[in-house]
Amino acid sequence: MNSSAASSPPLIQLEGVVKSYGAGSAEELVILHGIDLCIQAGDYVGLVGASGSGKTTLMNLMGCMDRPTRGSYRINGQDVTSLDDDRLSAVRNRSIGFVFQSFQLVPELSVLENVEMPLFYARVPRRERRRKAQELVQSVGLGHRMQHVPSKLSGGECQRTAIARSLANDPVLLLADEPTGNLDSRTGEEILALFAQLHERKRTIVMVTHNPEIAARLPRIVEMKDGRILKDSRSGSSQPLVAASA
Amino acid sequence: MAKPLAVANAGETFLLAFRNLRRNKLRTLLTLLGMIFGVGSVIAMLSVGAGAQAELLDRIRELGVQNVIVNSVRPPQQTRDEKSSQDSDWIDRFGLTDADRLRIERLCPGIDQLLSVNLVPDRVWHGSSRLDATILGVPPAYVSLFGLVPTLGRTLSELDEASASSVCLVRRSLLRKLGVLEEPLGLSLKLGNFPFQVVGVLEDSNYHEQTLAALNLEAGAHEVFIPHAASMRTFGNLVYKERGGTSERTRIEVDRLVAVASSADQVRTVARVIDAILSHGHEQEDYQIVVPLSLLEQQERTQRVFSVVMVLIASISLVVGGIGIANIMLATVTERTREVGIRRAMGARRSDILAQFLTETVAIGLIGGLLGLGFGMAALQGIVRTTGWKAEVGPTAIMVSMGISCAVAVISGLYPARRGARLDPIQALR
Ligand SMILES: Nc1ncnc2c1ncn2[C@@H]1O[C@H](COP(=O)(O)OP(=O)(O)OP(=O)(O)O)[C@@H](O)[C@H]1O
Ligand SMILES: [Mg+2]
């Protein structure tokens, strides 16, 4: 693992990332205090920590929804901190897949159309877009629900749709913020199984979870507290990785 | 930089826009109403304006844009005074003379034709029925100049003029009023005491007020056209009228001169020169110059001011419609904040969001413009039917209104759309 990290840049590399609100003013509110984090391609990382510890904030930064106040963020070696809004949009479109706790599907659009959305913004021609979206919807087991609108779907089906959508442009990084938070445990397990499958196919995943049981199953756990990384450990072989930044 | 997606994918963006509009049918309809009334009234007003303009034009064309018409008129101060009423042989003399005509011919450049008209107010008899008429002795050129084309029979010819034949052109209504049932061509009518043969029948005149004034005609006057030479030979230029026991005799050598300028640019100069020539030798104002072209320009000016004011007033409703769009779009953007967040997270750029909302307002503009066009034309029909005005919906009116409605839609949609595009994606997803 370490040897491969030396030869090629890590997929995700955050160095001294600080996020604060109201920077420069007297009441500057620092949410993230210098985060250092490396994620190699194919890793499956669980992000845990108390509520308000800054997990979502960190996910937003990694997903290029937001820019760090200080520090650098590299994806595949390319610094994205200085990109303008349009370029950040392009990065989100091509390289990131989001899965949210509350699904975030457009209620007026069908399952198929929701899945098509990232392809639309990637300027994929209509026909191909349709074909690809159908494939994706089928792959998450919703072939019989393609024309349904989200309000006619169960929570699990909604989240499957969202996962299919997140995979549309074949992103290098999947970011899932409490993807099972709104689901009952059985449906949650189905979604987790889906993620496990994706992990087997070498997809890089970062998942926020509040559930210690779920976290325990993941190969790597990053624990946050008050805007800092408290612990970064590998389970199974249970060898701790990089020491937590202090 | 790649062009905005909405442009690359205009068809689909439009489809999406229509879908969103359909989702809120009532709201869309109410928003559309504003545009419909706005565009409709602008179209109606533009068309009424254009119609008035067109009517003005053909009203003046009736008189000929290249013509300068000089009428003999009774001078204002010359009323029948003591002396004349005592003297039974007194003859009123005023107006244009043959000498004037010669001077104009000799001195005024830029005239193609100079036509004299002899007006004789007299009665037309058919058997025992009679009718007051205006008999015009005119050269053949006059007939074609004023477009007097008989629908039956023939027009006055050079030969008629040269031989001063007793032939006439009459209006259809004159025949009707006289109770002529038989074939009118070849019919002999008595003009005053003299038999004239009908050689052609003209459709009834439908002169505009202005034309009547310029030609010294009363509404509903019955015109009878005869060769100028025949009128001079038969009636001369002495008019004898009996009114309430007293008789009145007037001699006007030339009742009317029509000068045809060689081009429209010359008309004003010709009029000025004629006026200058006539002002010598006419101490009293016993002639009047009518320049149809000047009338046209003068009235066009008033007409244009009127049109502009009307369109401005109509535009107010368009502005109100625009405010309606802005209002609805603001609500839409607020409602769809989450959707904006989702789209941004999926990689939509600000410009994509902007284009999406703008497409929706343009769709409103287009639909509103089209429906407004329909409404405007319907309203116009109503206006035309009730007022009898002329109105024209020209291609310009259509293009202008569609352009305006789209412009109004874009302008009023711009702020809401920008607001949507500038939403912070993280906040929007909350
Ligand atoms: N726009 C903002 N302005 C000010 N403070 C913010 C803003 N966004 C987040 N915060 C604060 O940052 C802190 C971290 O929030 P964040 O959402 O990252 O926590 P979290 O770890 O995801 O919590 P949870 O487990 O409840 O989702 C919170 O205290 C929150 O109030
Ligand atoms: Mg959170």
Q: What is the pLDDT of residue B11?
A: 80
H or E element at residue B29: helix B25-61
| Rounded distance between C-alpha atoms, residue A171 and residue A175, angstroms | 10
**Does B9 lie at the interface with A, CB-CB under 8 angstroms?**
yes
- Using DSSP's 3-state secondary structure scheme, residue B11 falls into helix
Q: Quick one: closest CA in A to B336, which residue? A: A106
B-chain residues within 8 Å CB-CB of A104? 338, 341-342, 345, 429
- Has residue B68 been placed in a domain? no
Q: What is the pLDDT of residue B218?
A: 78
Domain end call among B242, B262, B285: B285
| Rounded distance between C-alpha atoms, residue B127 and residue A89, angstroms | 98
| Rounded distance between C-alpha atoms, residue B38 and residue A141, angstroms | 52
**Same-domain status, B139 and B272:** yes
- Using DSSP's 3-state secondary structure scheme, residue B8 falls into helix
State the smallest CA–CA distance between residue A57 and chain B in angstroms: 10
| Rounded distance between C-alpha atoms, residue A114 and residue A167, angstroms | 12
Domain end call among B235, B252, B285: B285
Asked if B129 contacts B179 with a C-beta cutoff of 8 angstroms, the reply is yes
Q: B340-355 as b/e, with b when 16 or more CB fall inside 10 Å?
A: bbbbbbbbbbbbbbbb
- Has residue B291 been placed in a domain? no
**Same-domain status, B193 and B99:** yes
| Rounded distance between C-alpha atoms, residue B277 and residue B86, angstroms | 35
Q: Which has the higher per-residue pLDDT, A143 or B209?
A: A143
Domain end call among B285, B320, B355: B285
**Same-domain status, B31 and B152:** no
Cβ A102 under 6 angstroms from ligand 1: no
**Same-domain status, B332 and B238:** no
User: Over the stretch B278-316, which tens digit does the pLDDT of each residue have?
Assistant: 998 888 888 989 888 887 788 888 888 888 898 888 888
- Has residue A100 been placed in a domain? yes
**Same-domain status, B257 and B330:** no
B350/A65 Cβ within 8 A: no
- Has residue B336 been placed in a domain? yes
**Same-domain status, B51 and B110:** no
CA of A47 to the centre of ligand 2 (A): 10
Which sign does the torsion angle of CA B6, B11, B14, B20 carry? negative
| Rounded distance between C-alpha atoms, residue B124 and residue A8, angstroms | 116
Which ipTM value was assigned to this complex? 0.93
- DSSP labels, B238-270: EEEEEETTEEEEEE-SBSEEEEEESSGGGHHHH
Cβ A196 under 6 angstroms from ligand 1: no
**Same-domain status, B136 and B39:** no
**Same-domain status, B323 and B422:** yes
**Same-domain status, B266 and B323:** no
Asked if B190 contacts B124 with a C-beta cutoff of 8 angstroms, the reply is yes
Which residue CA neighbors atom 22 of ligand 1 most closely? A56
User: Over the stretch B1-37, which tens digit does the pLDDT of each residue have?
Assistant: 455 555 557 788 888 888 888 888 898 999 999 889 9
**Same-domain status, B209 and B99:** yes
| Containing structural domain, residue B111 | 74-285
A-chain residues within 8 Å CB-CB of B1? 86
Q: Ligand 1, closest atom to CA B426?
A: 1
State the smallest CA–CA distance between residue A1 and chain B in angstroms: 31
Q: How does residue A236 score in pLDDT terms, banded at 50, 70 and 90?
A: low
Burial environment of residue B191 by CB neighbours within 10 A (0 to 12, 13 to 18, 19 or more): buried
First to last CA, chain A: 24
**Does B346 lie at the interface with A, CB-CB under 8 angstroms?**
yes
- Has residue B262 been placed in a domain? yes
Cβ A13 under 6 angstroms from ligand 1: no
Q: What is the pLDDT of residue A241?
A: 39
- Has residue A151 been placed in a domain? yes
- Using DSSP's 3-state secondary structure scheme, residue B363 falls into helix
| Pairing status of strand B194-202 against strand B223-227 | unpaired
| Rounded distance between C-alpha atoms, residue B131 and residue B125, angstroms | 7
A165/B343 Cβ within 8 A: no
Cβ A52 under 6 angstroms from ligand 1: yes
| Rounded distance between C-alpha atoms, residue B263 and residue B240, angstroms | 39
- Has residue A173 been placed in a domain? yes
- The number of folded domains in chain B is 2
Measured between CB atoms, which of B1, B19, B347 is closest to A121? B347
Q: How does residue B81 score in pLDDT terms, banded at 50, 70 and 90?
A: low
User: Over the stretch B367-387, which tens digit does the pLDDT of each residue have?
Assistant: 998 999 899 889 888 988 998
**Same-domain status, B83 and B198:** yes
Q: What are phi and psi of B123, to 5 degrees?
A: -100, 150
Cβ A19 under 6 angstroms from ligand 1: no
CATH number at residue A225: 3.40.50.300
User: Over the stretch A120-147, which tens digit does the pLDDT of each residue have?
Assistant: 999 999 999 999 999 999 999 999 999 9
Q: Quick one: closest CA in B to A171, which residue? A: B346
B-chain residues within 8 Å CB-CB of A94? 347
A100/B429 Cβ within 8 A: yes
